[in-house]
Amino acid sequence: MTADPTARTTGPARFSEERSAEVVAASFAGTPDARLGEVMTALVRHLHAFVKDVEPTVDEWAAAIGFLTEVGTACTPVRQEFVLLSDVLGVSMLVETMNNRADRGTESTVEGPFHLVRSPARELGADIALDGKGEPCLVTGTVRGVDGTPVPGAAVDVWQANADGFYDVQQPEQQPEGNLRGLFTTDDEGRFWFRSIVPRYYPVPTDGPVGRLLQATGRHPNRPAHIHFDVRACGYRPLLTHLFVADTPYLDSDAVFGVKDSLVREFPTVDDPARAAEVGLPNPFRAVHFDVVLRPETPADGA
Ligand code: BEZ
Ligand code: FE
């Protein structure tokens, strides 16, 4: 039964510094949605503990609310400053990792804000570097299930920054639309391959309140060089992950904590004119191989 909201509160049920969390949490006791009630109760418990730990002044609390307000107003249809805040606080990676616990299958990582557009469908072997800038690179791999079975017909969506560290959507005037993006379909043996360039490290957007937070706390904004992968196939769990370049700076200090050792690969130089001609790249070129293992859709299938 819901408590009578007009009833007077006295004694131990009244708000006090000591019992603040308990009293406020009790106000959610009648939440019809049990999960929402559980979440709000935990939020109150942790938030009150945080405030008691930090003991903010009134001005500091107003500044905190002002900061969150700015984070909200910085959001647009193509910019999500709250996600960026969650990213730099490591919460995006924590949620991602907790929801993809697996001892088999390729590890996941954050999606990031630049998967804004559906990548253009391209033929296997296509060159996604439409602006012709950067160090040419061949990317190859196979999509398999956890039992090793190749997955033909899997959708492999890739996107990456250019040689200057910018995504096409950040530089609509300088980069062709769809630059360094491609949606590939694996062949009968589950293989994919495409031509690209070696990506460069780059900073997360720093021109908003989250950038100011990084600066005020002496943190750098950079992410190590990577290629994003979104891999999907019928009967398998979708996978959002990155392929990291082994010799990139910032591998040990990613601004969004996205690096997992299992996702780091060498990009060796191949000096082989015949192979270069075969794959349609100038000699020498860099090459990387990234096999992807998808977990089955239902854990009962062996995830
Ligand atoms: C990215 O990798 O594209 C990214 C991820 C999180 C925040 C900003 C950028
Ligand atoms: Fe990225």
Specify if 4 maps to a domain.
Answer: no
**pTM for this structure?**
0.89
Give the pLDDT band (50/70/90) at residue 192.
Answer: very high
Domain, as residue range, for 209: 81-302
Residue 264 alpha carbon to ligand 1 centre in Å: 17
CA of 83 to the centre of ligand 1 (A): 10
The answer to whether position 59 is within a domain reads: no
| Residue 57, phi then psi, degrees to nearest 5 | -75, 170
Q: Is 93 among the domain residues?
A: yes
Q: How far is the CA of 201 from the centre of ligand 2 (A)?
A: 9
Split into its structural domains, the chain has a count of 1
* Residues 6 or more apart in contact with residue 25 via CB below 8 angstroms: 40, 41, 44, 45
- What local confidence, expressed as pLDDT, does residue 12 receive? 60
Please check whether residue 142 is in contact with residue 184, taking contact to mean a CB–CB distance below 8 angstroms: no
Return d(Cα 249, Cα 138) in angstroms, integer.
Answer: 21
Q: State the pLDDT at residue 232.
A: 96
Q: How far is the CA of 243 from the centre of ligand 2 (A)?
A: 10
Q: What is the pLDDT of residue 115?
A: 84
Please report whether residue 87 resides in a domain: yes
pLDDT score recorded for residue 101: 81
CA distance 52 to 191: 55
What is the tens place of the pLDDT at every residue in 207-249?
999 999 999 999 999 999 999 999 999 999 999 999 999 999 9
Taking CA atoms only, the protein residue closest to ligand 1 atom 4 is 112
CA distances to 93, 112, 219, 243, 247 from 254, rounded to whole Å, are 11, 13, 10, 14, 14
Residue 300: per-residue pLDDT: 56
Q: According to the model, what pLDDT value does residue 302 have?
A: 46
What CATH number does residue 145 fall under?
A: 2.60.130.10
Residue nearest atom 8 of ligand 1, based on CA coordinates: 204
Query: Which ligand is located closest to the Cα atom of residue 109?
Result: 1
The CA distances from residue 226 to 108, 161, 202, 229, in Å, are 13, 8, 10, 10
- The answer to whether position 53 is within a domain reads no
Q: Is 203 exposed, middle or buried (0-12, 13-18, 19+ CB in 10 A)?
A: middle
Average pLDDT over residues 44-60: 98
Judged against a pLDDT cut of 70, whether residue 10 lies above it is answered with: no
Q: Give the residue whose CA is nearest to atom 3 of ligand 1.
A: 112
Q: What percent of the chain clears pLDDT 90, i.e. is strictly above it?
A: 83
The answer to whether residue 76 sits within a structural domain is no
Q: Is the pLDDT of residue 122 over 70?
A: yes
Residue 75 Cα to chain centre, angstroms: 17
Please give the structure tokens belonging to residue 191: 């293989």
If you average pLDDT over residues 289-303, what whole number do you get?
80
Return the best residue to mutate from 110, 200, 202, 207 for the ligand 1 pocket (most ligand atoms within 8 A of CB).
110
Cβ atoms 19, 12 nearer than 8 A:
yes
Does the pLDDT of residue 299 top 70, yes or no?
no
List, for residues 127-152, the tens digit of each pLDDT value. Answer: 999 998 999 999 999 999 999 999 99
Please give all residues whose beta carbon lies within 6 A of any atom in ligand 1, as ranges.
84, 87, 110, 112-114, 204, 223, 256
pLDDT at 186: 98
7 residue type, one letter: A
Residue entry with tokens 């062996």:
302
Q: What is the CA radius of gyration of the chain?
A: 24
Residue 199 burial (CB count, 10 A): 28
Residue 196 inside a domain? The answer is yes
As residues whose CB is below 5 A from the ion ligand 2, the structure lists 112
60-116 pLDDT per residue, tens: 999 999 999 999 999 988 788 999 999 999 999 999 999 888 668 999 999 988 887
- Asked, for residue 161, whether it belongs to a domain, the answer is yes
Is pLDDT above 60 for 1?
no
